[in-house]
Structure 1
Amino acid sequence: STKLKVTGIDLFSAGDFNESDGDEVLVLQDPSQGMYKKLVLSDNRIKGAVMYGDTLDGTWYFQLLREGTDVSGFRKTILFGQHDLGDAGHGDSSKAVMALPDDAEICGCNGVCKGDIVDAIVKKGLFTLDDVRAHTKASSSCGSCTGLVEGLLASTVGEGYDAKPSKKPMCKCTDHSHDDVIQGIKEHELKSMQAVRDFFEWQTPDGCAACRPALNYYLLANWPAEYQDDAQSRFINERAHGNIQKDGTYSVVPRMFGGLCTADELRAIADVSDKYKVPEMKVTGGQRIDLFGVKKEDLPLMWKDLSDAGFVSGHAYGKAMRTVKTCAGKTWCRFGTQNSTGLGVKLEELTWGSWMPHKFKLAVSGCPRNCAEATIKDFGVVCVDSGYELHIGGNGGIKVRVTDLLTRVETEEQVLEYCGAFIQLYRLDAHYLERTAPWVERRGLAYVKEQILDNEPRRKQLYEDFKFSQTFAQIDPWKARAEGVEAHEFTPLKIA
């Protein structure tokens, strides 16, 4: 059997559902409800099945198909499902799944049968979906069997089962969630990690590898003027200000605002590459040049040379603003409607250096042909004849998400304001390590619009707060370390 593993799309198929001569076809269809069922019978036995919209009985149909069960005794009602026959198959899912045999496969991804799940619930005293996932792996992959697992929980546990998800603790050091901690930092003006741990009664004195980076970020985002960044609570890439590679060397990515570069800047990069014997250079997807194979002890010296040539850190290693990808725009392209490259430079000048919950990418496309791929970026601008379309919450990667259209504006100044406000809202509201795509899905586009579109004073305040925080963030870490800051981090240990 096969179940399409795409969130929001319920599609199930089993066997051969293309009928042949002598086969009989049973169809139940309700277009207004988005439901379709088709069974192909041969000699009163299921030969194939396909269902869309309502796939609850897929496991049952597959069981009948696999065992070659004669369905003549309940053929008149077979399309209506295993339980509550006559009610169009929309019966109690928990009763339907409990009627399955113990060897019925519930989770196809991990090969978990009904009996395994029920046995774990009873013997281990499981009460939540997360408990079942942790102990059996059922519903822990694609999630398409979640409804069946919840049905087993509801029937086995009874009144003790609550389908509402409980708040997930931030880490094992506390029972409080990310939202609890974020709210507490704001409302109670907690301005140090120790103050947060004391207020929330942390169970460990110094926190752990999961909560320390998160607390460091939340404090930095909320109190940019008061809080002192704790470098030791950051990941190694952020402490070293370079991406560590598989062989222990580092890559260095200078920032190129809007993807632009002069001949002198290219020569400077080439000279640095020769001087430090860089084995490989590569043009990145973010329209920059990546220098690979740099020794850790050479980083400060290389950064000094790049800083002297006018470069700042590209923050390619951090949970930070990464790049602003641009196309040629109307300056050169015959299809361009606005100066996309110039706007991209302004956006990057506004946003570079900003620490975020996760990496943050921007793009500006000069026309709807979208050569800069603005509609899969965290914040994207698509230029049109009348102005600019602003898009939010997209990303590439493992799970591609196309952006949502936030609004349309007429001027570059409006683009900068809306961008800064959106970034600040994301910085203050999202969980640490949460990209804008899952954040927008979790909070909802309506929430973002309410904060930024429908509330002009709120938008302008967010923008001003972002610009204020940038006065503390836009200090080039490469230049500082080239001048001796944290020199011990880059000095090789000597064996006495």
Structure 2
Amino acid sequence: MARKLVIIGNGMAPGRMLEHLLEAAPQDYQVTIFNAEPRVNYNRIMLSPVLSGEKTYEDIITHDDAWYQRHGITLHRGKRIVAIDRGRRKVEAEDGTQASYDRLVIATGSAPIVIPVPGHDLPGVLTYRDLDDVDRMLAAAQGGGHAVVIGGGLLGLEAAAGLAQRGMKVTVLHLMPTLMERQLDPAAGHLLREAVEARGIRVITKANTKAIVGSGKVEAVQLDDGTELAADIVVMAVGIRPSTALAKSAGLGINRGILVDDQLVTSDPAIQALGECVEHRGLCYGLVAPLYEMARIAALHLAGDATASYPGSVTSTKLKVTGIDLFSAGDFADARDREEIVLRDAARGVYRRLVLQENRIIGAVMYGDTADGPWFFDLLRRREDVAPLRETLIFGQSYAGGAPLDPMAAVAALPDDAEICGCNGICKSRIVGTIAEKKLASLDEVRAHTKASSSCGSCTGLVEKLLSLSLGDSYKPALLQPMCSCTDLGHDEVRRLIVAQELKSIQAVMQALEWKTSCGCAKCRPALNYYLIATWPGQYADDGQSRFINERVHANIQKDGTYSVVPRMWGGVTSAKELRALADVVDKFAIPTVKVTGGQRIDLLGVKKTDLPAVWADLGEAGLVSGHAYGKALRTVKTCVGSEWCRFGTQDSTGLGIRIEKFMWGSWTPAKVKMAVSGCPRNCAEATCKDVGVICVESGYEIHFAGAAGLDIKGTEILTRVRSEDEALELIVALVQLYREQGRYLERIYKWARRVGIDTIKAQVCDDSEKRKALFDRFVFSQKFAQADPWAERAKGRDAHEFAPLSELRFAEAAE
């Protein structure tokens, strides 16, 4: 019969312990968790990206509701335990809920330290430990204003960076002469201060807070030198202390933390404790790696492994602020029996310092280039004799022993227990073993099965290299591929940072993301232009110089230097008036070739560049607008005649095709988009090889997507079936908007779908009606704020609202 295991606390340490326990002894325990927070388990070290806007709460959830249900775990949310009855082996929550246990695990974490200066209890004085704290800071940041962060350590700087990105004017107060003095030496602290101040954050060191002042709420912070700083909020980030009150009231052994032995057992053999609340061999830990090591040992002990033992941890530190690369480990204080090796590269902003004692690394500080951090940390942890490497040691693993190593060889040389993902405590052997055991083939699969690289992302490169080592040439590490030689960032990272940092011009992107060139290149500028258009409709002005010539002149350049003009024909339907206008233009400008295209349009080939404005002006008089034959946009909606004429037609496919095209034309997309609507399953419009296709059936409409009929040949996937035209339109628009927001520049829909997953797309577009409606609304919103097509305004015979934007460019600028 399964024993009863009760866990007090649902943070990262007990969450990881449960993962190990479920692997080692999945049937041994009936698990009940009491969580003081009203939510599931999430990754607390990723609160800073949530504060800055780079991630959402949903992005940092570790175990969702389905996980607890799948494993039969009872989770009591928002129920704080107030009493432990060790004699009866029961716990009781504030609301009276009780649970009996055979084994109890206490994981109450820590509490933030609040300096007891006058005014510390005023409304607006916040701490920074959990999601509720982040929500309070986000609410305060909505109005802008001034924020004062007391504490220049890890949490303080992460809070300051997040609030600054949210638009607040931020000042950091730090008592010591340099920032992060516990983790950094003065030289690295100096570089860190420069980087923080470059983000518009004021830093005051040697600052002693005298009082927080205000009438009914925070208004200012006074320092003991008389300085007064305006403040709408004050964030206390001066440290933490273990939460031991519950254990103390139960009579357990307490010092600074709850005292535990090497099996994480307290003074009561039936009770274990782990995480920030414990004290082990005189030390309390506040970083995630030791917590995860404790979790593994605690789980093995619960599973019956008497040999499992926790010896303590050597820790390393990384700052979670985008664009600041910092690594620190060990002891780097000055002493006579130590030597140091220092590397400074002022031009690159790189600083490295290794502290050696008896030819062993005992401390490492790195700023600006931290790629060798895991290697130095492993040498430190193993107490490796580095005398043979002494001459090249500071240059990193690639130069170990003299001749430069290939980067892949350097990763291959890492020992199996080398830590790869610090956020989640994942070592090399676990990643490599999981890749082999589960036949993983992508970064997303590794993230799903091991959590490596799923948090801050700084170890993504290492994980990609391990995939390459494991899979050989069959693995194509897309995320290691930068957009171009102008940047080391990939498309996804650039899009994420454009949103997170609210970058609203190409120049702002290049400056904030440290582009290597002054103004980009033909690869990155069009991509950045699209990402900004898609992200900030109505706020970003389309940059004509970042478009290819075809888009600037609304025509396709041909091999002889002339152009091809393709007017739009809604759903492939035309009229005598449009045909006469086309014939008149052909005669007037002596256009040599007129051809019917595969997209049910007429192509005018051989137009001189100088004639393009006049050609379009004449076509515009007849209501003809561009068919986007050149564009990364909706090109055509091919149709058959459908139920209006065909004896096999089940629905009005022509009418639906025209409706879709008029609603969506002119919307820029990552790559070209071709659609089709077939009036019956005979599929005369070839809808099953298009980016988006509709097959009309007796009961309604079958919506397809992710087909291809070019260099790649691929049939479509069925998205869903609906009964009405309105439903079909909403789903198609939502699908395309999701593609616009997630697709990489020049990535066709079928490649995007293959990358993110068909089921993922269906879940967002089909299964979640609120998300679908939100996607639809965002598409409509983006259409409203684009400038009108300069010749569409002259179109005759159609209502003005039927015309979505064609381009934000004025044609006079394009016809250069």
Which TM-score band applies after superposition, normalised by the shorter structure? 0.5 to 0.7
Tell me how far apart the structure 2 counterparts of residues 320 and 359 of structure 1 sit (CA, whole Å): 5
Which residue is 2:737 aligned to?
424
Q: Deviations over 1:226-245 (max 9, x none)?
A: 00000100111111110000
Q: Deviations over 1:295-314 (max 9, x none)?
A: 01111111111000011111
Which residue is 2:812 aligned to?
487
Which residue is 2:717 aligned to?
404
Instruction: Work out whether residues 651 and 679 of structure 2, in 8 Å CA contact, stay in contact via their aligned partners in 1.
Output: yes
Q: Quick one: which of 161, 167, 171 aligns to 2:480?
A: 167
Structure 1 residue 194: Cα displacement: 1.5
Structure 1 residue 287: Cα displacement: 0.3
Which residue is 2:518 aligned to?
205
Q: Quick one: which of 113, 116, 125 aligns to 2:406?
A: 125
Please state if 1:370 is matched with 2:683: yes
Q: Quick one: which of 265, 282, 288 aligns to 2:578?
A: 265
Please state if 1:216 is matched with 2:541: no
Tell me how far apart the structure 2 counterparts of residues 430 and 160 of structure 1 sit (CA, whole Å): 24
Which residue is 1:387 aligned to?
700
Structure 1 residue 207: Cα displacement: 1.3
Which residue is 2:416 aligned to?
none
Which residue is 2:597 aligned to?
284
Aligned pairs (5 A) from 1:333-352: 333-352=646-665
Q: Using a 3 Å threshold, how does the CA distance of structure 1 residues 450 and 158 change in structure 2: closer, same or farther? A: closer
Instruction: Work out whether residues 613 and 811 of structure 2, in 8 Å CA contact, stay in contact via their aligned partners in 1.
Output: no
Which residue is 1:51 aligned to?
none
Tell me how far apart the structure 2 counterparts of residues 232 and 247 of structure 1 sit (CA, whole Å): 23
What is the SS of the residue equivalent to 2:606?
strand
Q: Using a 3 Å threshold, how does the CA distance of structure 1 residues 478 and 395 change in structure 2: closer, same or farther? A: farther
Aligned pairs (5 A) from 1:315-326: 315-326=628-639
Aligned residue pair count: 342
Which residue is 2:645 aligned to?
332
Which residue is 1:359 aligned to?
672
Q: Using a 3 Å threshold, how does the CA distance of structure 1 residues 471 and 205 change in structure 2: closer, same or farther? A: same
Structure 1 residue 185: Cα displacement: 1.2
Which residue is 1:21 aligned to?
none
RMSD, matched Cα: 2.5
What is the SS of the residue equivalent to 1:173?
coil
Instruction: Work out whether residues 481 and 487 of structure 1, in 8 Å CA contact, stay in contact via their aligned partners in 2.
Output: no
Q: Using a 3 Å threshold, how does the CA distance of structure 1 residues 490 and 390 change in structure 2: closer, same or farther? A: same
Which residue is 2:504 aligned to?
191
Q: Quick one: which of 591, 597, 612 aligns to 1:299?
A: 612
Q: Using a 3 Å threshold, how does the CA distance of structure 1 residues 289 and 160 change in structure 2: closer, same or farther? A: closer
Structure 2 spans left out of the alignment, 5+ residues: 1-402, 410-440, 442-464, 796-808
1:407 alignment partner AA: T
Tell me how far apart the structure 2 counterparts of residues 194 and 375 of structure 1 sit (CA, whole Å): 41
Instruction: Work out whether residues 377 and 395 of structure 1, in 8 Å CA contact, stay in contact via their aligned partners in 2.
Output: yes
Tell me how far apart the structure 2 counterparts of residues 203 and 312 of structure 1 sit (CA, whole Å): 40
Tell me how far apart the structure 1 counterparts of residues 604 and 468 of structure 2 sit (CA, whole Å): 57
Structure 1 spans left out of the alignment, 5+ residues: 1-121, 129-146, 148-156, 492-496
Structure 1 residue 361: Cα displacement: 0.6
Tell me how far apart the structure 2 counterparts of residues 319 and 472 of structure 1 sit (CA, whole Å): 19
Which residue is 1:415 aligned to?
728
Aligned pairs (5 A) from 1:78-157: 125=406, 127=408
Q: Using a 3 Å threshold, how does the CA distance of structure 1 residues 159 and 478 change in structure 2: closer, same or farther? A: closer
What is the SS of the residue equivalent to 2:487?
coil
Tell me how far apart the structure 2 counterparts of residues 261 and 411 of structure 1 sit (CA, whole Å): 26
Structure 1 residue 478: Cα displacement: 4.8
Structure 1 residue 411: Cα displacement: 0.3
Tell me how far apart the structure 1 counterparts of residues 467 and 671 of structure 2 sit (CA, whole Å): 40
Q: Deviations over 1:35-70 (max 9, x none)?
A: xxxxxxxxxxxxxxxxxxxxxxxxxxxxxxxxxxxx
Instruction: Work out whether residues 337 and 385 of structure 1, in 8 Å CA contact, stay in contact via their aligned partners in 2.
Output: yes
TM norm structure 1: 0.66
What is the SS of the residue equivalent to 1:380?
strand
Instruction: Work out whether residues 220 and 227 of structure 1, in 8 Å CA contact, stay in contact via their aligned partners in 2.
Output: yes
Which residue is 2:340 aligned to?
none
Q: Using a 3 Å threshold, how does the CA distance of structure 1 residues 223 and 160 change in structure 2: closer, same or farther? A: closer
Instruction: Work out whether residues 304 and 479 of structure 1, in 8 Å CA contact, stay in contact via their aligned partners in 2.
Output: no
Aligned pairs (5 A) from 1:3-18: none
Which residue is 2:6 aligned to?
none
Q: Using a 3 Å threshold, how does the CA distance of structure 1 residues 274 and 211 change in structure 2: closer, same or farther? A: same
Q: Deviations over 1:130-165 (max 9, x none)?
A: xxxxxxxxxxxxxxxxx9xxxxxxxxx999946573
Instruction: Work out whether residues 326 and 344 of structure 1, in 8 Å CA contact, stay in contact via their aligned partners in 2.
Output: yes
Tell me how far apart the structure 2 counterparts of residues 314 and 424 of structure 1 sit (CA, whole Å): 20
Please state if 1:468 is matched with 2:749: no
**Higher RCO (CA-CA < 8 Å; seq separation 6+):** 1
Structure 1 residue 485: Cα displacement: 3.6
Instruction: Work out whether residues 300 and 478 of structure 1, in 8 Å CA contact, stay in contact via their aligned partners in 2.
Output: no
Q: Quick one: which of 253, 256, 260 aligns to 2:566?
A: 253
What is the SS of the residue equivalent to 2:408?
coil
Instruction: Work out whether residues 566 and 604 of structure 2, in 8 Å CA contact, stay in contact via their aligned partners in 1.
Output: yes
1:336 alignment partner AA: G
Structure 1 residue 177: Cα displacement: 1.1
Q: Deviations over 1:151-182 (max 9, x none)?
A: xxxxxx99994657353212111111111111
Q: Quick one: which of 436, 443, 446 aligns to 2:749?
A: 436
What is the SS of the residue equivalent to 2:676?
strand
2:488 alignment partner AA: D
Q: Deviations over 1:247-283 (max 9, x none)?
A: 1000111110011011111111111111111111011
Larger Rg: 2
Tell me how far apart the structure 2 counterparts of residues 387 and 337 of structure 1 sit (CA, whole Å): 8
Structure 1 residue 479: Cα displacement: 5.2
Q: Using a 3 Å threshold, how does the CA distance of structure 1 residues 464 and 160 change in structure 2: closer, same or farther? A: closer
Please state if 1:176 is matched with 2:489: yes
Structure 1 residue 190: Cα displacement: 1.2
What is the SS of the residue equivalent to 1:453?
helix
The percent identity for this pair of structures is: 58
What is the SS of the residue equivalent to 2:674?
strand
Structure 1 residue 481: Cα displacement: 12
What is the SS of the residue equivalent to 2:527?
helix
What is the SS of the residue equivalent to 1:337?
coil
Instruction: Work out whether residues 430 and 439 of structure 1, in 8 Å CA contact, stay in contact via their aligned partners in 2.
Output: yes
Tell me how far apart the structure 1 counterparts of residues 572 and 810 of structure 2 sit (CA, whole Å): 29
The structure with the greater share of residues assigned to helix is: 1
Instruction: Work out whether residues 393 and 402 of structure 1, in 8 Å CA contact, stay in contact via their aligned partners in 2.
Output: yes
Which residue is 1:12 aligned to?
none
Which residue is 1:100 aligned to?
none
Tell me how far apart the structure 1 counterparts of residues 603 and 763 of structure 2 sit (CA, whole Å): 40
TM norm structure 2: 0.40
